[in-house]
Amino acid sequence: MTGITVGFIGTGAMGEHMCRNIAQRGDNAVIAFDLASEPLDRLAEHGVTRAQSAEDLARKADVVILSLPGGPEVEAIAEGALLGAAREGWTVIDMSTTPVKTTRAVAARFEAKGVRYLDAPVARTQQAAIDGNLSIMVGGDESVLAEFRDVLLCMGPDVTHCGPVGCGQIAKILNNMVVFQNGVALAEALTIGRQAGMDGGHLLEIINKSSGGSFVGMNHGVKAMVPGTFPLKQFPARYALKDLSYALLLAADGGVEAPGAELAGQMLEKAIAMGNGEEYWPTIIKAVEAAVDDGKASD
């Protein structure tokens, strides 16, 4: 859809780049709001108009996109700014990672006011957000997705309809659960290999071209775990734990035991307790390494 005004709320580590790509690659006016002014200043250089408030944005936008830290923030924005501005035929697209129950409850409140609602969380790295190469998983009415697919394609080439409202979140949350469990396995393998006398980078290179190879190994492993580089404001460990907690909630709702996910959660909790909660989530390798150091100290 072209010739509309796209409102974007939440211009953080991922959202800023997503919003910029909508402005640069699309044919629609873009208006944005965030509590931090710096990303809005940068976005202004790309033609994005700054909204005075979330309410101001809601009044002016034909479709509102949310890219917020999690469920509580989505509920707060919905209740505090958006539902009051709701109007027949309006559309809200939540690209945050939000619990499935929360997503369906918020969607129902909007739909009662005649507002279409899609949940469309994203996967891949911050670099993918910068490059416009995200994977976008969408729950909701397929005809509404068709209407706004061109807007979503500005942010990534892989836009997948997952099913009714909530199914985008299910796909995203469980994808991340698998990523974090893979990260624990990788952190353990690298630490064991190094302790046995093998170079970690060489070990990972071999794993990545063998049957143990994965997106996690080729990205989080190569770029973070091997060099020991865990930048701030790049999907920190505390955000990862939040996403994992949503997966565990989903498992509990379905009566499914998930010991692998629980272990990944324990490793994230340990990394956060070590003071690394703001570091990029592959910092969990430090928690594995710390256990080795503790064992040596007790010998």
Domain residue extents for the chain:
5-163, 171-298
Q: Is 69 helix (H, G, I), strand (E, B) or coil?
A: coil
How far apart, in whole angstroms, are the C-alpha atoms of residue 207 and residue 173?
26
Mean of the per-residue pLDDT values of the chain: 96
- The CA distances from residue 214 to 48, 181, 190, 211, 218, in Å, are 37, 12, 14, 9, 6
Task: Give 265's contacts (C-beta < 8 A, 6+ positions apart).
Answer: 180, 241, 244, 245, 248
Q: What CA dihedral angle connects 177, 135, 239 and 52, to 10 degrees?
A: -150
Tens digit of pLDDT for each residue in 234-259? 899 999 999 999 999 999 999 999 99
Residue 7: name the closest of 26, 39, 42, 32 by CA: 32
pLDDT in the model for residue 233: 83
pLDDT in the model for residue 292: 85
Superfamily of domain 5-163: NAD(P)-binding Rossmann-like Domain (3.40.50.720)
Fold of 171-298: N-(1-d-carboxylethyl)-l-norvaline Dehydrogenase; domain 2 (1.10.1040)
DSSP state at residue 63: E
CA atoms within 13 A on the CB side of 241: 20
Strand pairing category for 5-9 and 49-50: unpaired
Is 270 noted as a catalytic residue in this protein? no
Same CATH topology for 5-163 and 171-298: the answer is: no
pLDDT in the model for residue 299: 60
pLDDT in the model for residue 298: 65
In the chain, which residues have pLDDT < 70? 1, 295-299
Q: Which residue has the tokens 């952190």?
A: 187
Q: Given 60, 101, 113, 172, which residue is catalytic?
A: 172
pLDDT in the model for residue 293: 74
pTM for the structure as a whole: 0.94
- Is the distance from CB of 277 to CB of 236 less than 8 angstroms? yes
